[in-house]
Structure 1
């Protein structure tokens, strides 16, 4: 409440806006510092955590749990039919029970890995400076959950260790419904039916999603080559990769830009509240816009690169 009063923000409007944005995993918060302004408010972060999970990675599991609960309470045959015939319902978010269990387990394993890594490597770092142990634990958990794919950062990513940033890149790259799904009772993957010749040719010509991302990063490095040479502490390959993968995963994370890290201090510079991409050239911004659309439509290219053999 004090933070909102100091910033002159209406409490009701902030609550509604942040709730909708968090559940939809948009990453929009009506403050210049994103959630960084609330790092000393673990209560608020704790309220946002379930909304992030329910709105994205755990949505299929929670949806099936809700239908199961309604079936138990009401006893209606419609809910039982939905649970037993989830694939026939035509709703992609309604997954089979075993798949939902694997999805939930995978999500919590990813969160645990990030949480442990953050606590081990950043506990005494400047990113957590001034926080109590409880605030550090809640902040690390919030950051681990938000990486997939809410984009609400409670820490300054520019001072996070590179090893953690690489881990974040992996988490942002993975689709929200990624799960470890072992075969049961000798089950094997269904055989892929042959398509029309034209469709088979198109499939063979398509690259994998990772290949396209590498191409996009190379193109951005070409468009920003002057900045890479003149401002290497802000413009480096890791920062560009983080911005690109964040756009691809529709996460919204940004490493930011700091005038203090500039080697050339002759020209005037003023820190602004927009993200790192705000300092890019127009060509680089256009490429990142394409990456955002490509990331939103990535499910149509899940079989890309299948024609390549690496052995």
Structure 2
């Protein structure tokens, strides 16, 4: 069976009934029933509504690079459309070219994807990933040192300042502030769009979900409780007589700690690293993103965009569920 690109519907969501569940190979402007002998990578395109133009522009890049393409599936997951393609080869340069043209859709161009049909683990950062704020910035704002602390936060997330140093500096600025501020922040802590969809979808699949945050335990603990997560890790603020002492207790959860936590959780739950997904937005997430089977940067800072395996810029956390279920 052959499908001519020119006569296929403009919205990829309308292709599903035409594909009959079989793989197709891309050859000179048409899709021919068949599959790649030895695929080496995946390319997933995602959007609220995915257009044929997005696929055509991507295919043009792949044709120019001499890459063989197999159309695996077109799906609607969490009310988002996606197409999963297998590729005959992969390179960082190819990924960069495909990312550069993705102006109205998100992409994942990776050597491998985790299998949603097998047990897995998602480990997320919290601030600006699972939630829409940086908790320490909100504490500082209520404590009257907002601009001072926010500037240090920005420098840390962009990689301009070592995370541990930045955290101690920010916490020191809170010395003497009333610790009840924590409850005020929790009461107004906005979840990242797609978070509940992602967690509920993962739990339905039997996956483990955890947080590893450079933030603080009251906030990760709150999310752990309301979302029924499997584990959470964060820093402990010292509180003396109801006020912040300006110190952090114990070891700091920095970039290396997050990566270590990923490995320890995977070992604890008997999950191979290839079946792990890490999600974050800042420079202190990069080691974790690199270690995971799939590393996803969400609305990330420029330094993270340059290095992360996958960057989600237009959609939100529901896209992570789409990637896991795309095969």
TM over 0.5: no
Range into which the TM-score falls when normalised by the shorter chain: under 0.3
Higher-strand-fraction structure: 2
TM-score with structure 2 setting the length: 0.24
Higher-helix-fraction structure: 1
TM-score with structure 1 setting the length: 0.24
